[in-house]
Chain A
Amino acid sequence: MFDLPLSTTLLVFGFPAFWILYTLGFLFLTRNWKRDEGNGAGQGDAP
């Protein structure tokens, strides 16, 4: 892609793709933080 060797393509585009997935996973797992915090109760410690 973009006339780059495969390894360079993975470096340039693979890492950002990984971080996007990581962030989406984080947002999904923590979707109840605000609500639970508002309740004032201990609701576990994810993630």
Chain B
Amino acid sequence: MNPTVLVFLVLYFVVVLSIGFWAMRRGAGGDLENYLLGGRRIGPVVTALTLQSTSMSGFMFLGAGALGYVEGYWGLWYAAGDIGGGVVNMSVIGRRMRKLSKLTGSLTPIEYLEKRYPSAAIRLIAGGLTVFLLGSYVLAQFIAGGKGMALVTGLPYSVALLIAVGIILLYTYLGGYLAVAYTDFFQSLVMITGVLWILIAALVEVGGLSAANRAIAALEPSLVSVWGRDLGYQGQWGIALGAVLIFSVGYMGWPHVVTRHMAMESPSTARKAGGYATVWNLLFVPAPYIVGVLAILILPEIGDPELAIFEVARKLLPAAVTGVIMAAIMAAIMSTADSLLLQTGSIAARDLYERFIDPNASERRMVWVSRLMVLAIGAIGYLVALFQPPTVFQVVIFVTSVLGSAFLPAYVCAVWWRKANSPGALASIVAGASAAFLWQFLDLEGASGLHPMVAGLLASTTAMVVVSLATQKRHPVPQAILDLMAESANLGTAAVEPR
């Protein structure tokens, strides 16, 4: 392995671990609100960048590059929605969710659901589903991290995986949400530097975008169309729509992402955070897909398309810059994995253990239980990742489709629809998760022309509306919750927020 690359990687790891120790010293483990939400004192810049870097996982450097490499400009359907994901989140639920979660004293996104839709079944089903799905998502990030480290360091996959997982576990364990948010902030800067650097290098190598497009069209004209290689998706608007929705409105159903709203320093933080998120996304999101497309010309014979961006970096950039790119790739992976780990651990601890097993656990005990859950999930993830399940792209699309389908109507209606009640939310979660899961399990996408995300969202939204309306008389939304909803719509905080 090139020593310059190693120096950059080690430097990067030192910085993220330092942030973890710093967060611990700032009292991140003092009580549960500090450990799980950073004491709800995260400002707009950090909120925007932790939201975005958490959403942009290792998928952006592996899956997105592979999609561009295999399907050409078709992959840009995903980028088209992704650019607006942050501002959609902030504008639709950001401020209200921050306020309602504080008013109800909720510390996890699943606890928030139970407080808004009072029902133990909601907590149990949503908690169990989330732990399973986020656990799978963590796994995908571990695989991405292990692959990347192994490629650059030349270490065996199992050792590279151990190093990547060990570092993520350590700072998440120590510093909780504060460490996760601030490492995400640092990592988002590294990510954007790395991806723009490699994009510019690739454009120079191919003689500019116009020349590249002409050359690609000469090789295979369908690659510069919006319908994929050999026009495989031609006219499939249901799939294109799903690709746009999954990373735009779909974000609003991801528990590890909506937690960012709950941790903001004030409800109005959502405004600036939305603006910063769009700026960051415009610069970052399209680049990995385009580098993947350009890799068709730069490296026509790649065995594993998921390594397209790694290989382009290795071919085009000097060792010192490759070190930055590697750090960027690891940053993308780790910034998502740490959030997923913390979220999975905290949901397992707070929403399953404390809620159903030990309701009288002290704050201090719960911080330790959360930490132990983080360790346990990390260890399980490491062991499973050794067996290398399906590609990162497959796992990410599967998990994000099911999560978004299951929870999006529940989170949006929680603050916007006064008739959304517990049976409606429960039916929506079950119907959305089942539809998105079955769509993929039975491979109905091709036959129906509908993306699993679209099928799942149709099912969950319909279930929410129909069941809520049908059960209004027997299960009205409690007046106390309606009052809190009305309060959450107000901008003022001083008079209503518990301090």
Contacts and interface: CB of A to CB of B under 8 A. Distances in A.
B268 A40 contact: no
Nearest to B493: A37
B87 A42 contact: no
Interface stretch (B49-57, B58-66, B103-111, B206-214): B206-214
A7 B221 CA distance: 14
Contacts of A36: 491-492
Given A20-B278, A36-B491, A8 B73 contact: yes
A22 B76 contact: no
B459 interface: no
Contacts of A16: 80, 83, 282, 286
B84 A44 contact: no
A13 B489 CA distance: 35
A42 B275 CA distance: 23
A23 B267 CA distance: 17
B268 A3 contact: no
Given A3-B213, A16-B286, A45-B489, A37 B80 contact: no
A23 B48 CA distance: 13
Contacts of B292: none
Contacts of B83: 15-16, 19
Interface in A1-21: 2-5, 7-8, 11-12, 15-16, 18-20
A5 B274 contact: no
B73 A3 contact: no
Given A2-B213, A4-B213, A45 B490 contact: yes
Contacts of B440: none
Contact of B491 (A7, A11, A18, A43): A43
A23 B270 CA distance: 12
Contact of B268 (A19, A20, A33): A33
8 contacts: A11-B73, A12-B76, A18-B84, A26-B87, A37-B267, A42-B491, A42-B492, A45-B96
Q: Top 6 nearest A-B pairs by Cβ distance?
A: A42-B490, A40-B494, A15-B80, A45-B489, A33-B268, A19-B84
